[in-house]
Structure 1
Amino acid sequence: MDISKIIDCDAVGCIYNRDKQCHTFAINIGDDLPVCDTFMRSNDRGGFDSVTGGVGSCKVKNCANNNSFECTCDGIHMHLVGSHVDCMNFTKK
């Protein structure tokens, strides 16, 4: 099984975001809500240009795409909603 990749992310103020692409090895999503726990707003930049972000863990127990805290989607879309970033692939069980 391959890690679920982040297809796009519109959180352009995140340290890992360049040109609406995530450049950290892996993000963590959730607890009760499908929110990116890795999102950090800053003018500083982190991550690596050669890396395409993936989903390291998903803690949203009621997501149909969560299997043993792993995301089963091939790829996900992340969207800035107010002050947080949500996984748009969330599907309630």
Structure 2
Amino acid sequence: MTASMERPRVQECVVAACAYNRTGDCHAFAITIGSSDHAHCHTFIRMPESGGVDTLVAQVGACQRADCRHNSRLECHAPGIRVGPDNDLADCMTYDRR
């Protein structure tokens, strides 16, 4: 059995259209960040019903942006992240190119 590590939390999400967002908090268990061209939140989904778990605040499960200074071996090591609009509706605003 492998022990899980504490992952960076989504400290703020201003993408109100996401089904996992309630009052600025992301309630997905974990999110994935990254695309070949920008730091998109791949967990973003627009649906009429709410998703996630009310008692959880999302963590960063994986980051595909190897060019981010917070990324090591495709894992985010920032203290926490913010999600909001940049190149599209839901991007990692903490992304910082090396």
Q: Same fold (TM over 0.5)?
A: yes
TM-score, with normalisation over the residues of structure 1? 0.93
2:22 aligns with 18
The CA RMSD measured in Å over matched residues stands at: 1.3
TM-score, with normalisation over the residues of structure 2? 0.88
Structure showing greater Rg: 2
Match of residue 29, structure 1, among 4, 27, 33:
33
Query: How far apart are the structure 2 equivalents of 1:58 and 1:83?
Result: 17
Query: Contact 2:9–2:80 (CA<8 Å) still a contact in 1?
Result: yes
- Can you list the C-alpha shifts for 1:53-85, whole angstroms capped at 9, x where unaligned? 110000011111111111001110111247421
**Where do 5+ consecutive residues of structure 2 fail to align?**
none
* 3-state DSSP of counterpart to 1:76: strand
**Where do 5+ consecutive residues of structure 1 fail to align?**
none
Query: Contact 1:31–1:61 (CA<8 Å) still a contact in 2?
Result: no
- Kindly provide the amino acid, as one letter, of the partner of residue 72 in structure 2: N
- Can you list the C-alpha shifts for 1:17-43, whole angstroms capped at 9, x where unaligned? 000110011000002211100100111
Higher strand share: 1
Aligned length in residues: 93
* 3-state DSSP of counterpart to 2:45: coil
Runs of 4+ in 1 over 6 A off after TM superposition: none
